[in-house]
Structure 1
Amino acid sequence: MDLTQLSSAIAPVNLRSCLIQQQGKLIFEHYRRPQTFRETAKINSCTKSILSSLLCIAMDQGLLPALSTPASAFFPQLASAEDSRKQKITLEHLLTMTAGFSWTEFGGKNSFPHMTRTPDWIAYVLDQPLADEPGTRMEYNSGVSQMLSHILVQVSGMSTADFAEKYLFGPLGINHYEWETDPQGVHTGGFGLKLRPADLMKFGQLYLDKGRWQGEPLISSPLLERSVQPAIAVNDPWRGYYCWHWWADTYPGDDLSDPAASFEYFYARGFGGQFVHVIPKLDMVVVLTHDNRKNSKYPDVFRAFIAPLLIGEPVSDIR
């Protein structure tokens, strides 16, 4: 593995930060500006993976019932919905984004932006029609993430941020963050969290170390490993698989017949270039942050520039 090419390769992308850690040691560090390392910034949908970790902690504590529990146990209006299929939506369907709601996330009537302009986000989400039988298809939906944040508040009796401070942020030494809330005062489950790049690295390292931090267990290893296992294949424009509010993929493709030239990884991803990649085979975590707003034109920096170097291939050239 030779990272000497990396600085020049990623220069045209103008990343906000790029951190690579292997075996617990930082082996590559890039910041657009010197002060970036101490500034918090939006991690967008990487918030979903933070929420996933909090829900795993709640499961470990026995606060959450079995994942086969209907979501109507927390949102009674689902039990009386005109479409009886809504009664079949379970906690696991929410975690894997297979609840079946008709949703377009970034545009249209039933979308994330429209949700945020309503006085009651949960009521808006629950009122959406179903497009699919629950459990059959993944549809990216920040609304179900908000449902999960509300559920965490219900079972813990704490705000999502307070729960994070006590059981995740505090142990990891994450002292600087900002977190948005919905109109009911519940912290956003699918976006809205601001963290520093180094704190995202701590989070990734926790997952690389199977839930342990400085020798202490924060999340049980079996539950953490289950949370990042592929649950359902995704459709274009996505690639790979969705897990419990994490993504999973392989490089360079699904064929792992040549172990020396391929690897599996799982990752958190957020709009505009926020990523936490965890590569267990290489004992490595890669954190990328950016502030790119033209998401459709944003290259996959990890697959184009970093992954090839990890297996000795030439990197892509976008210049």
Structure 2
Amino acid sequence: MNLSSIHDMLHSIIPALDLRSCLVSVQGELIYQHYRNEEAKTRIAKINSCTKSVLSALVCMAMDQGKIPDASTPLSFFFPEVQTDADARKPQITLEQLLTMTAGFNWDEFGGQNSFPRMTRTDHWVHFALEQTLSHTPGTHMEYNSGVSQILSAILMQQTGMSVNTFAERYLFDPLEITDYEWESDPQGVHTGGFGLKMLPADLLKFGQLFLQKGQWNGTTLITHDLVNRSTTPAIAVSPPNHGYYAWYWWVDTCSAESARFIEDVLPTDIQSTTAIAPSDLALPSLNYYYARGFGGQFVYIVPALELVVVLTNDKRKKEKPPLDVFPRLIAPQLLRYL
């Protein structure tokens, strides 16, 4: 792999997109970094739903330690009160179904009476999430739901006997030397499972590198290889406008050189010439990858075949944002040329 050429390619396309940050690591070496300004480098910022992937990692750690039981464990084990619910399916929702957004709750993430904004205006977020009716048989349909993330955060707190951020500091943040962060919590002191974590881009890169290294960090196993694999293996296909699959709070997808054809018409003219795909490029292999995704352009991409981790962050308003799929449609197709 020609790392110098990759650096030059990235430098030719990333600055013009005005991202808050872009960090690229290959084989554990930081080969490219771009920050809009010094503040973007040194000041923590919201990672939004990338928080879910961090929570997934913490749940895996608690499983490894025997503090959280197997993923097949039913919801009623953690919240016995759901056994009296009118819907007999609810007590049987499994931990894995919470992790894969397939619990079946009737939920509209961003609007309506059963939504994440409505949840945050109640005095007990976890109760609100648990009280929602089911619109699908658990395990059959993926419905994005930050309420189930809050349930999972409460389970982690319940089973470990410590706050989520304390558990994170002890078993994840301290080993990775992540010291600068903030994490919101609900009225009961349960840290937000679906959003609310602020971190530095460089620390997000460490988090991605941990997963690339199958849970190993400086010779120590932070997450077992088996659970890294299980948590990032496709569990269910997602519905449009999303594409690919969902795992345990990780998105999983594939891209090819063909992907770049769908973005060239929305790029500045000077970048279009840099990213043009030649006919010969279309024969290049596809790339499998998985990623954490947060609202507003926060991403952590892991590409095992290239030993690659990419962090993208942004803070622009919707009308000012570059294309959402900067990595799969712009960066990854170029990387295929250096396989």
What TM-score results when the alignment is normalised by the length of structure 2?
Answer: 0.88
Whether 1:224 and 2:228 are equivalent positions in the alignment is yes
How far 1:252 moved relative to its partner?
2.2
Whether 1:290 and 2:314 are equivalent positions in the alignment is yes
Partner of 2:285: 261
Partner of 2:64: 60
Whether 1:123 and 2:148 are equivalent positions in the alignment is no
Percent identity between matched residues is 58
Structure 2: runs of 5+ lacking an equivalent: 259-281
How far 1:176 moved relative to its partner?
0.4
CA contact (8 A) 1:272 1:298 kept: no
Whether 1:29 and 2:33 are equivalent positions in the alignment is yes
Partner of 1:99: 103
Instruction: State which of 175, 181, 206 in structure 1 corresponds to 2:185.
Output: 181
Instruction: For 1:259 and 1:206, locate their aligned partners in 2 and report how far apart those are by CA, in whole Å.
Output: 32
Q: 1:253 to 1:266 in 2, by over 3 A?
A: farther
CA contact (8 A) 1:43 1:191 kept: yes
Superposed counterparts of 1:96-245, under 5 Å: 96-245=100-249
Instruction: For 1:37 and 1:264, locate their aligned partners in 2 and report how far apart those are by CA, in whole Å.
Output: 29
Partner of 2:336: 311
Instruction: For 1:142 and 1:202, locate their aligned partners in 2 and report how far apart those are by CA, in whole Å.
Output: 24
CA contact (8 A) 2:288 2:303 kept: yes
How far 1:34 moved relative to its partner?
2.2
How far 1:299 moved relative to its partner?
2.5
Structure 1: runs of 5+ lacking an equivalent: 314-319
CA contact (8 A) 1:232 1:242 kept: yes
Provide runs of 4+ in structure 1 moved above 3 Å: 295-298
How far 1:204 moved relative to its partner?
0.3
How far 1:292 moved relative to its partner?
3.0
Instruction: For 1:36 and 1:294, locate their aligned partners in 2 and report how far apart those are by CA, in whole Å.
Output: 19
Give 1 or 2 for the bigger CA radius of gyration: 2
Question: What secondary structure sits across from 1:28 in the alignment?
Answer: strand
CA contact (8 A) 2:130 2:151 kept: no
> Which amino acid is 1:113 matched to?
P
Whether 1:50 and 2:60 are equivalent positions in the alignment is no
Instruction: State which of 302, 322, 329 in structure 2 corresponds to 1:278.
Output: 302
Instruction: For 1:12 and 1:73, locate their aligned partners in 2 and report how far apart those are by CA, in whole Å.
Output: 52
> Which amino acid is 1:308 matched to?
P
Larger mean CA deviation between 231-240 and 69-78 belongs to 69-78
Q: 1:194 to 1:219 in 2, by over 3 A?
A: same
How far 1:280 moved relative to its partner?
0.3
How far 1:77 moved relative to its partner?
2.4
Render the CA deviation track for 1:198-253: whole Å, top value 9, x for unaligned: 00000000000000011111001111111100000000121100000111001129
Question: What secondary structure sits across from 2:11 in the alignment?
Answer: helix
CA contact (8 A) 1:10 1:305 kept: no
CA contact (8 A) 2:257 2:336 kept: no
Which of the pair is proportionally richer in helix? 2
Question: What secondary structure sits across from 1:249 in the alignment?
Answer: strand
Q: 1:246 to 1:253 in 2, by over 3 A?
A: farther
Instruction: For 2:193 and 2:78, locate their aligned partners in 1 and report how far apart those are by CA, in whole Å.
Output: 16
Q: Over aligned residues, Cα RMSD in angstroms? A: 2.0
Instruction: For 1:81 and 1:9, locate their aligned partners in 2 and report how far apart those are by CA, in whole Å.
Output: 54
Larger mean CA deviation between 26-35 and 7-16 belongs to 7-16
Instruction: For 1:240 and 1:71, locate their aligned partners in 2 and report how far apart those are by CA, in whole Å.
Output: 27
CA contact (8 A) 1:40 1:194 kept: yes
How far 1:310 moved relative to its partner?
0.6
Instruction: For 1:253 and 1:246, locate their aligned partners in 2 and report how far apart those are by CA, in whole Å.
Output: 23
How far 1:20 moved relative to its partner?
0.3
> Which amino acid is 1:310 matched to?
L
Aligned pairs, number: 311
What TM-score results when the alignment is normalised by the length of structure 1?
Answer: 0.93
Question: What secondary structure sits across from 1:5 in the alignment?
Answer: helix
CA contact (8 A) 2:102 2:141 kept: yes
> Which amino acid is 2:175 matched to?
P
Question: What secondary structure sits across from 1:250 in the alignment?
Answer: strand
